[in-house]
Amino acid sequence: MSHDFMHPTGVLPAIFSTYDAWKYRLVTRIYAFGMLCHLWLGDAWTDGWEFPNALAALGLILLSVNPCFAAWMLCFVGKLLPLLFLRDQLTQSVVLMSYAAIGMVFHVQLARGRGQVGHFWRGLQSITALTYTVATFHKLNTEFLNPVTSCANYGMNELFVHWSLPTEWSEWVIWPGVALLAEGAIPVLLSLGRHRLAWVLVAFFHIPLTITMAPAFAFVMFAGHAAFATDADREAFDVWVKRSAIWIIPISVSITTLSVLNANITPDFTMIVREWMLWALAAGSLVHLFKARAHREERPRQGNWAIRLIVGLFLLNSLTPYTGVQMQHAGAMLSNLRIDEGCWNHVIIPESFRLTEDYIRIEEGYFGKPGRVEEYEKIMKDQLWNGPQIRQMKRNWCSDSLRPFYMRGTLRGEPFEIADLCSAEDLPFSTDGFFGVEIFPEFLRFQKNLERECPQSCIH
């Protein structure tokens, strides 16, 4: 594949040419399954998402049968469109996009005769380790460390309710520390070359998350974890894990069955399958930890500037909450992190680090006349908002019977007033974007259901 990628006669062969190696096929198929789990989320079952979902679905199918540039590109575009235009709120969408971007770069360089698969592995490994690192860092805040408000305690409560266990156990003060240690240890182990031990921790760490709050996140991340696999891992899998399947399968099925029988609400079939896969992976990774021989792959001698750029942009994006320009897509979900004025709670980064404060505060809002829909009027005044949410509010609530939809509030300390949101063509939020420039009106920068008062218990 030494032809020039940009030469007309070389474009189609380069776009659809396959890099055929066992590890590459493993990573691409796991990525495809992770994308499938991601597309199965309720977040993606929204009006207007049909076209990007179709692109991503076509990409995952193509990745499964012929891993190539076109497959990665379809996955990348299929996630970019919802992010920019359809209020996609998930960090895992950015992870999937980053993996896909690295795949695209790898195939472009392969077509130009300069591709090194080691650069591809390093790119995926870096995104994976960074995801856990920044998620842990965001959790270093007073509300996550407080068991009364912590998402760790909230998640354990959800788990114990799901398993019909005493919810008092979820009040233990140890859960925030356990969550921080477990999540923070994953990138440390990966960076030290102890990926097999990290895999054991990853499997057990993601089981409660998958059951309660993040049903697809584990499977999205597994593509990055597979990038750490070595030839020794493959040999061990072929020998030891297959021999151990005679007890791994029945034990994992038994644990999953017990979990489902104890569940207060029976999960859908796909969740049962995913939970079984995690229990099987946990058992298999334990066997693998003790049976595989030690081996570390050589790293490429020279770095790849394009892949380094992708990793660097991913890291910069992950730190944007502390500048105030966005909260979503940065690994801060389920972290209790607050960056709004008066509620800043990170224990390391000071509030002076924030460059802007872009939440919309509604001081008064009503339909027709004050008091007509008291419950929603209270919600409007009690929560923090942003431009895409106000536009969605307009789409959801505007009808002749409820007009005029009056709203008055502030943005960046400046007052605004809307006589009727339903008839307003240009909303007074044209500056509600990165540093005052709103290029993508439906790009969701801030979380939903965030109360103006603090502290606040876990938002999910």
Spatial distance between the Cα atoms of 30 and 24, rounded to a whole number of angstroms = 10
pLDDT in tens, 323-364: 999 999 999 989 999 999 999 999 999 999 999 999 999 999
| End position of a domain, from candidates 181, 209, 230 | 230
Give domain status of residue 57, yes or no.
yes
Give domain status of residue 1, yes or no.
no
* pLDDT over 80 (residue 303): no
Spatial distance between the Cα atoms of 46 and 69, rounded to a whole number of angstroms = 28
> What is this structure's pTM?
0.92
Give domain status of residue 325, yes or no.
no
- Residue 185: what pLDDT? 98
Give domain status of residue 457, yes or no.
no
* pLDDT over 80 (residue 406): yes
Weakest mean pLDDT among 1-10, 261-270, 404-413? 1-10
Residues forming beta bridges with residue 405, ordered by sequence position: 367
* pLDDT over 50 (residue 1): no
- Residue 297: what pLDDT? 57
User: What's the domain count of the chain?
Assistant: 2
Spatial distance between the Cα atoms of 411 and 404, rounded to a whole number of angstroms = 21
pLDDT band at 115 (very low <50, low <70, confident <90, very high): low
* Residue environment code for 109-138, b if the CB has 16+ CB neighbours within 10 A, otherwise e: bbbbeebbeebbbbbbbbbbbbbbbbbbbb
Rounded to 5°, the CA angle 440-406-84 comes to 10
Whether 64 and 212 map to the same domain: the answer is yes
- Residue 299: what pLDDT? 58
Mean pLDDT for the chain overall: 89
Find the mean pLDDT for residues 96-119: 87
Give domain status of residue 238, yes or no.
no
Closest CA to 453 of 340, 328, 353, 284: 340
Spatial distance between the Cα atoms of 354 and 341, rounded to a whole number of angstroms = 10
Tokens of 261: 């029988």
Give domain status of residue 90, yes or no.
yes
DSSP-derived secondary structure letter, 367: E
| End position of a domain, from candidates 230, 254, 269 | 230
Give domain status of residue 168, yes or no.
yes
The range of the structural domain enclosing residue 410 comes to 360-418
| End position of a domain, from candidates 189, 214, 230 | 230
Give domain status of residue 182, yes or no.
yes
pLDDT in tens, 14-35: 565 666 688 999 999 999 999 9
Whether 36 and 177 map to the same domain: the answer is yes
Rounded to 5°, the CA angle 246-251-254 comes to 130
pLDDT in tens, 213-247: 999 999 999 999 999 998 888 888 877 777 888 88
Whether 180 and 37 map to the same domain: the answer is yes
Find the mean pLDDT for residues 236-262: 87
